Structure 1
Amino acid sequence: MSVREDLTAALKTAMLAKNAERTSAIRMINAKLKDTDIAARPKGIDKVSDDELFAMLRSMIKSRRDSVALYRQGGREDLAVKEEAEIAVISEFLPATLEGEALEAAVKAVIAETGAASVKEMGKVVGALKARHGAALDMGVVSGVVKALLGA
């Protein structure tokens, strides 16, 4: 089942369960996806790939995490909780990501394969990681790990 089909099924289930918050979050994802598809049309692309869809979902999560921090600073715990609930719904549609020791092991393996020795060769390492693990990578985390390992 594709991610788009998963979204449609989840929306139907949420609507039948009369879960307004979940329904709203999934509709928001669908709206953003539609905007992303429309933005890709001038490039001759009717629907964006799953990798681009995952990148879109990750950017939605990142903006919500930023909002949570700002809401907490402003004393608006109610809005922070709402954003965290949206993050949880969005995260459901992302594939499992490489984290912790598994991510570090993957980065070390690619560094050994490519022979990268300095931060100047970070692009080579990140490119090889993208080719091998694709959607399972959170690039914000990956770049930090690669920098740390190449800089050490």
Structure 2
Amino acid sequence: MTLKEQLTEAMKQALRAQDKARLGVVRLVLAAIKQQEVDTRQEQDDLAVLAVLDKMVKQRRESIRQYTEAGRLELAEQEQFEINVIQEYLPQALSDAEITALVAEAVAATGAASVKDMGKVMAWVKPKAQGRADMGKVSSLIKTSLGG
């Protein structure tokens, strides 16, 4: 069962259970995936859906930061609830040690020698870490390992 099918099934379950909060989040996710499909004019595979989910979590983390700074804790709690629901469909997050090992493996596999080769390394790492690690953190680790 694809990730998109799992989300559609989750929407049906939330409808049956009359869980309006969860239903709203799942519908937001499906709408974002549908928007991506319309924009690219092709069906989204699991990797593309993971990218959408990852982006949504990142946006909500930024919103939480802004709401907390503004003293709007009830809105920050809503965003955290949305993150929790979205993360149910993301694979298990990689640990720092796993990310470091993945970056080292990528540098060795691509033969990267300097920061100029960062694109090659990112291209190798991204499919394996998408949705499982903060790509900003991965990028900085790559830059550090390449001497940047």
TM-score, scaled to structure 1: 0.87
SS of 1:151 mapped into structure 2: coil
State how far apart, in whole Å, the 2-side matches of 1:125 and 1:33 are.
27
Tell me which residue corresponds to 1:57.
Answer: 53
Tell me which residue corresponds to 1:17.
Answer: 17
1:3-152 equivalent positions in 2, closer than 5 A: 3-41=3-41, 45=42, 47-130=43-126, 133=128, 135=130, 136-151=132-147
State how far apart, in whole Å, the 2-side matches of 1:29 and 1:60 are.
8
Question: Could you tell me how far 1:134 is from its partner in structure 2?
Answer: 5.6
CA contact (8 A) 2:64 2:79 kept: yes
CA contact (8 A) 2:4 2:49 kept: no
Structure with more relative contact order (C-alpha pairs < 8 Å, separation 6 or more): 2
CA contact (8 A) 1:130 1:137 kept: no
CA contact (8 A) 1:67 1:83 kept: yes
Is there any run of 5+ residues in structure 2 with no aligned partner, and where? none
Is there any run of 5+ residues in structure 1 with no aligned partner, and where? none
CA contact (8 A) 2:94 2:133 kept: yes
State how far apart, in whole Å, the 1-side matches of 2:53 and 2:22 are.
15
Taking only aligned residues, the RMSD between alpha carbons, in angstroms, comes to 1.8
Question: Could you tell me how far 1:128 is from its partner in structure 2?
Answer: 2.0
State how far apart, in whole Å, the 2-side matches of 1:99 and 1:127 are.
20
Q: 1:106 to 1:28 in 2, by over 3 A?
A: same
Q: Percent sequence identity over matched residues?
A: 39
Q: Letter of the aligned partner of 2:119 in structure 1? A: G
Question: Could you tell me how far 1:89 is from its partner in structure 2?
Answer: 0.8
TM-score, scaled to structure 2: 0.89
